[in-house]
Amino acid sequence: MTINANRYVASQAWVQGRWVKEVLLEVDANGHWSRISLDATPDTVRDAVRLAGPVLPGVVNAHSHAFQRAIAGLTEQGASSGRDNFWSWRERMYAVAQCITPEQLEAIATMLYTELLAGGYTQVCEFHYLHNACSYAPQASALDMSMALVRAAQRSGIGLTLLPTLYMRSGFAADGLRPDQQRFASTPDAIARLVQDVQAATRGMAHINLGVALHSLRAVTPQALAQLTAFADAQALPIHIHIAEQPQEVQDCIAHTGQRPIEWLLEHAPLHQRWNLVHATHATPAELDGVRVSGASIVICPTTEANLGDGVFDYTGYCAQGGSWSVGSDSHVSRAWNEELRLLEYGQRLTRGQRNVAAQSGASTSSAANMLQALLQSGQASTALPLGGLQVGNRADCVVLDTASPALCALPGDHVLDAHVFSSPSSAPLAVCVGGQWHVHFVHGAVAQDYVATLAQVLRE
């Protein structure tokens, strides 16, 4: 499938929360949608390139730790103690985090980002805290590590929102970091400088933007949180934070502050539409309502939260309040947004004993439709970019589905999205467009070979 034009016609496209037939899509010189005509006539589309399948908008992956792609599948054998949980998984993750060089990070992230493209993501928010040199590459700087991710995004073609992450201490009562966390060490001033350095280094690059992240309340001081978020607000940058992921985190926060994590954040930080709270798995209804009122969004990572035993997010309660949310693939045990939505819905079905739970949380009777619309509406919150579906002014991102695949073949058109989310195995798209640029070949041989060689090095070290 070769595409080289700026006018396209889709026999079927997802526009404004529904399937529409014969949609004309035009891209301007800046890579944004300049015209979207519904029910276009034959005369209107005569010189447009006809796309080979149904068209969905691109989706933002709102939470990624690229280096953790290297351990997907390698932590599924129980701990010797017999008690395997998030904290024991974290020790195994740290072991790999210690040894990754900038060159290795680039190879791993390039493989990951091409996989994310093939999974329908067109922008990834990289929650990045591998700042300092490792023993294998003592000359590496924080800028070197960040630029490795930028190069990976440029090579793959995905958009990147880089989130340099503040990480200062190992827990609420700690004065600093553990020896195995020293790679993550940073200060508010250092993160602000890194953001500015990457902005300067990427000026003129397509689809690269910056935000900031705070690892968690346990990892930063209140003063540092205030300092870094003030910097972010001055530049209108998105702000991301892990919060309320594990019961122990909640208990520790109560013990040291007298409040639950989200409760503390709502009282002490000026939350707004550019804040993104990752996980919030253990949140009360009052806390979730407070997040909604603030305008902030929650980033749900269903496959990682299931893999780590975090728990099940109160999706129905939050959606009933009208809360904004997005998804992320986090540790990358899955790398497709439809798989995240499938597990999100199935988790609700298992805990509530009902079917089509998400069908009750939006304007559509389709669970998949309501969940997809939520993702599109939160795209700008997680990135501070015009990413919100097939709409004039938004970046020209979309995915062309393959209706010849086993998951989608022979289905009526108005059930294609339902099957894309709930029928497996998932099919690879025919093509993905990012800012008007098309990608039709995903995991190239050279990318895969580089990844295999790099992974062998990392695991040996």
Find the catalytic residue in 310, 314, 330, 450: 330
Give the residue from 305, 402, 399, 288 showing the smallest Cα distance to 346. 305
- DSSP-assigned states of every residue in 256-282: HHSS-HHHHHHHHS---TTEEEEE--S
Give the residue from 113, 103, 132, 134 showing the smallest Cα distance to 69. 113
Find the catalytic residue in 131, 242, 279, 439: 279
What are the backbone angles phi and psi of residue 397, rounded to the nearest 5°?
-115, 135
In 73-203, at which residue ranges do the beta strands (DSSP E only) sit? 121-128, 159-166
Instruction: Tell me, yes or no, if 279 is annotated catalytic.
Output: yes
Give me the residues paired with residue 162 across strands. 126, 210
Here the tokens at position 267 are: 């009282």
- DSSP-assigned states of every residue in 366-391: -HHHHHHHHHHHTHHHHHSS--SSS-
How far, in Å, CA of 289 to CA of 293, rounded? 6
Instruction: Tell me, yes or no, if 330 is annotated catalytic.
Output: yes
Give the residue from 299, 354, 353 showing the smallest Cα distance to 323. 299
Give me the residues paired with residue 55 across strands. 13, 400
How far, in Å, CA of 270 to CA of 284, rounded? 19
* 3-state per-residue secondary structure call for 39-95: CCCCCCCCCCEECCCCEEECEEEEEECHHHHHHCCCCCCCCCCCCCCHHHHHHHHHH
Q: Which residues are catalytic?
A: 279, 330
